[in-house]
Structure 1
Amino acid sequence: MNKVPMTVEGADALRAELNDLKKVQRPRIIEAIAEAREHGDLKENAEYHAAREQQSFCEGRIQEIEGKLSNSQVIDVKAIPHSGKVIFGTTVTIVNVETDEEKVYRIVGDDEADVKVNKISISSPIARALIGKEEGDVVMVKAPGGDVEYEIDKVEHI
């Protein structure tokens, strides 16, 4: 099975969520189920059914996170020598050649991607176009709205 790249921060966030689910959420849900059982008839007990549904979601998320962590390859970009090239985990400042609009993106794993905080997936069209390029290079990104040319302004190993 192929390993999925993940930053150290992404892996830490998943581990923290997993810890919360196992040590805080799971016991709280078990307590809610036990309390709802004490109320009597389970067929018509809305509290019981709601707690069981929460338990199902919680256990599913635990399995999902454990699966992601077991299939991940954690990459610490700070430990990689600075080559000036765009690689997984680097922060890249790009400038649209036509509009001079500047954007800053960090290239991360699929599970960590969040455009709202400028984190793009390694499998996104922009990241695929940038990987392996250096500062000063001009890249063509095949976007859904058409091809866009960007110049790589800065590559940072943060």
Structure 2
Amino acid sequence: MSGFYDLTCKDGKGEDFSFENFKGKVVLIFNSASKCGFTKQLDGLEELNKKYKDQGLVVVGFPCNQFAGQEPGTNEDIVTFCKLTYGVSFPMMDKIDVNGDNESPVYKYLKSQKSGLLGLKRIKWNFEKFIINKEGKVVNRYASTTSPESLEKEIETLLK
């Protein structure tokens, strides 16, 4: 399997995006949904983004409609909602599947590097989070219930 920096995806405008752009950065990736009970976490994710982006943090959202149909909109709808409702300024990528036959290669890779609770490979719900260090190693995976604020100390350590 290739490494983290070999991954590619489509951005929210449908343009090709290479993870080589993340070299030397700490990356926080999560799967999102606009109509989820955890959607309010976008506030905390944006706060982390604003506080640490100049120090090398990149926050990246991957919209996903696989959990109770909670992300029904188009990419344009999603980006507009996130920007207007939560002030999101970090990249929201193309809507993807995070599990199953059509899962994104990005999530296939992330899950291969860090299992969830009890060794589960699948993403359980919206707003699961992965932290990748400056060398492109997936160092941690967090459940949906983990608040963005609780990741701050780890992010600070990885940015040093």
- Write 1 or 2 for the structure with the bigger share of strand: 1
Higher relative contact order (CA closer than 8 Å, sequence separation 6+): 2
Q: What TM-score, normalized to structure 2?
A: 0.20
Q: What TM-score, normalized to structure 1?
A: 0.20
Larger-Rg structure: 1
- Write 1 or 2 for the structure with the bigger share of helix: 1
